[in-house]
A = this chain, B = another copy of it.
Amino acid sequence: MFRIDQRNSTPIYQQLVQEVKEAILKGLLRPSERLPSVRELAVQLTINPNTIQKSYQELERQGIIENLQGKGTFVAEHYRPTKDRERLSILKDDLRRILVDAHYLGLNEDELLRMVEQLLTELKMGEDNR
């Protein structure tokens, strides 16, 4: 269900956060749908349960998933984007960094924009999924 690369240097728990967000965006996970339990997923991905838990807590903090006591973890029914200024500013900085790197890797403006478009399509953004 989720792809985790143990050799990737980005923390596993962040990779999982990202994977869940993408899965929801792509419609693979739907609002109110149940996520695998911490233990289940730990077994599936051969990752420590604590690591899974950290991911779930982060996703809950962002309002993307919800925990029902003793029943499990679910995709939030109504996700409300935050428009958090601070996080938007960080995002913009990250984007700037990427554009700079892209230039030094030899990508020109057109190639870059095409890459963006392709990724947006892949993620089915602009569609009705949450």
Q: Which residues does A use to contact B, with CB under 8 Å?
A: 6-7, 9, 11-12, 18, 21-22, 25, 61-62, 64, 66-69, 71, 79, 81-84, 87-88, 91-92, 94-109, 112-113, 115-116, 119-120, 122-123, 125-126
Contacts and interface: CB of A to CB of B under 8 A. Distances in A.
Contacts of A81: 104-106
Contacts of A7: 66-68
Contacts of A69: 6, 9, 11-12
6 contacts: A6-B68, A7-B66, A61-B61, A82-B105, A83-B106, A99-B120
Number of copies: 4
A94 B99 contact: no
Nearest to A96: B119
B119 A92 contact: yes
A105 B79 CA distance: 10
Contact of A106 (B61, B82, B123): B82
